[in-house]
Amino acid sequence: PRTRRWCFADQLGPHFLDRPDQPVLLVESRAVFTRRRFHRQKAHLVLSALRHRVAELGDQAEFHQVGTYGEALDRVREPLSVCAPTSWGSRDMVLRRPGVEVLAARGFVTGQPDFAAWAAGRSRRGGGAGGRQSRLLMEDFYRDARRRHDVLMDGAQPVGGRWNLDEENRQPPPADGRSPAPVPWWPEEDGIDEEVRADLDRWEAAGDVSFVGDDGPRLFPVTHREALHRLRDFLGNRLGAFGPHEDAMLRDERWLAHSLLSPALNLGLLDPVDVVTGAEQRYRDSVTDGDPLPLNSVEGFVRQVMGWRDYIWHMYWHLGRDFRTRNHLGATQQVPGWLGGLDDDAVDAACLSDVLGDLRRDGWVHHIPRLMVLGNYALQRGIDPSAMTDWFHESFVDGYEWVMVANVVGMSQHADGGVLATKPYASGGAYIDRMSDYCGGCRYDPRKRLGEDACPFTAGYWAFLDRTRDRLAGNHRMRRPLQGLDRLEDLPAVVEQERLRGTEPP
């Protein structure tokens, strides 16, 4: 009998099939939404994308709307094959199911055997400084992947002579407060979106599910076609401006020159190989036309897709299922209700309030508000990293288990003790002040650490260092900040002030 390809709701693009007319199984499981409190727009996006794929495939798709995956699989009569799913939990489920053939994962630039070979090579070489095992650094992985896939290369050398142009990409926001790129292309909703909206309203009214965040016009692609449209719009109109201000934040310009492609990539609508190839082609064409796009923009974007995104995926598996529960800094606070509920009105701190408001409205903010505002806050306040991982997974339209475990536990909360990032991403208000236009309109002062107008990030930074100094003492990159701590005469007062503030909305 013929084999039907079971596609999960994050495997919706054509690259998850072996041929265009292959029979497909798609399952909409309600249980996924009853177990967790997702952003309303995330639930909408996932259901809309799944149902659009069903409509696209027509008779080719067998579609079940059920409580659990098990109920659907019990009804299927043909043998199934599935591309390796994206989390430990779904992998276990698939492997438990007799008669399901599990194929290699798709949807990433570097395959798992190539990553394994790279990682094994690094371990064998070992003997880095001080005889420690070589670390699996993103930058090394990225360079290896550029070589292996021949992306932005001139022979054996990187185009332009440098691998990484990041130092050109850390500029503060444009002084005029305007976005450096034109507004992005937005998709249009259709009848399927209407149906999804009505279903979500009905489920919520019946008390079966609950959501956070606003409902709103759908901002992200739900079909391969729409995803290609967004990709073309980005490559044609926005890529050139991407780099310089990629780390900047503006109160009134939340999209800046970001690609807004992560939700489509993580739904599996777009193959990242096509994204990277498209960016390179656009760059080479611009050179031929005598009007070259800035290489720092192109390289920075390519690094995000085939560097960071792939690295985070491979490290999710490489570090094992226990990585999620790491808690090197002993952070045990609960996620406060105002943060969990995306209640920006409760917050006075201008940066945090604005970022939370954007997240409530769109289900998306770019990487710096995630890392340096939301993540920084949680890190400083000692919120439990696993609970923060769930929070990021549920609140962001592009959040999935695989993407958030390594990003939050490792990168953002330093709960792995420095496997993914060499030092904690903790910073005071000065960084936010430099990289945004928030502080001028804030009731706090980024330079103050004590008193009524003490910036919660500045004071929180010192209180964080004080609380974690023993655990960070062995990290040579933290030596200077920890020495700074010893010079603060008002440290006891700052620590007490922040203890009283706790996780009350700042």
Where along the sequence are the contacts to ligand SF4 (CB under 6 A)? 349-351, 429, 432-433, 438-439, 442, 444-446, 455-457
Q: What whole-number distance in Å separates Cα of residue 245 and Cα of residue 177?
A: 12
The CB-side HSE value for 286 (13 A sphere, CA atoms) comes to 18
Nearer Cβ to ligand SF4, position 219 or 432?
432
Nearer Cβ to ligand SF4, position 143 or 367?
367
Q: What whole-number distance in Å separates Cα of residue 150 and Cα of residue 111?
A: 15
Neighbours of 109 (CB within 10 A): 23
Measured from the CB of residue 162, what is the shortest distance to ligand SF4 in angstroms?
32
DSSP structure string for 280-342: HHHHHHHHHTT-PPPHHHHHHHHIIIIIIIHHHHHHHHHT-GGGGG--TT---BPPPHHHHTT
Q: What whole-number distance in Å separates Cα of residue 172 and Cα of residue 175?
A: 8
Nearer Cβ to ligand SF4, position 147 or 501?
501
Q: Indicate the length of the chain as a whole number.
A: 506
DSSP state of 27: E
Of the candidates 340, 336, 373, 367, which has an alpha carbon nearest to the alpha carbon of residue 354?
A: 373
Nearer Cβ to ligand SF4, position 249 or 388?
249
Nearer Cβ to ligand SF4, position 354 or 394?
354
Nearer Cβ to ligand SF4, position 294 or 505?
505
Measured from the CB of residue 248, what is the shortest distance to ligand SF4 in angstroms?
14
CA angle 229, 371, 250 (to 5 degrees): 65
Nearer Cβ to ligand SF4, position 309 or 360?
360
Q: What whole-number distance in Å separates Cα of residue 323 and Cα of residue 237?
A: 40
Nearer Cβ to ligand SF4, position 180 or 506?
506
Neighbours of 255 (CB within 10 A): 20
Nearer Cβ to ligand SF4, position 248 or 439?
439
Measured from the CB of residue 343, what is the shortest distance to ligand SF4 in angstroms?
16
Measured from the CB of residue 368, what is the shortest distance to ligand SF4 in angstroms?
13
Which H or E element spans position 413?
Answer: none
Measured from the CB of residue 348, what is the shortest distance to ligand SF4 in angstroms?
8
Measured from the CB of residue 429, what is the shortest distance to ligand SF4 in angstroms?
3
Nearer Cβ to ligand SF4, position 424 or 446?
446
Measured from the CB of residue 458, what is the shortest distance to ligand SF4 in angstroms?
6
Measured from the CB of residue 483, what is the shortest distance to ligand SF4 in angstroms?
23
Q: What whole-number distance in Å separates Cα of residue 99 and Cα of residue 93?
A: 12
Nearer Cβ to ligand SF4, position 266 or 436?
436
Of the candidates 55, 46, 95, 114, which has an alpha carbon nearest to the alpha carbon of residue 268?
A: 46
Which H or E element spans position 157?
Answer: strand 157-158
If you count DSSP H runs as helices and E runs as strands, how many of each does the chain have, helices first?
23, 7
Measured from the CB of residue 448, what is the shortest distance to ligand SF4 in angstroms?
8
Measured from the CB of residue 505, what is the shortest distance to ligand SF4 in angstroms?
11
CA angle 17, 22, 27 (to 5 degrees): 75
Phi, psi of 92 (to 5 degrees): -60, -45
Measured from the CB of residue 353, what is the shortest distance to ligand SF4 in angstroms?
9
Q: What whole-number distance in Å separates Cα of residue 446 and Cα of residue 458?
A: 6
Widest distance between CA atoms in the chain: 77
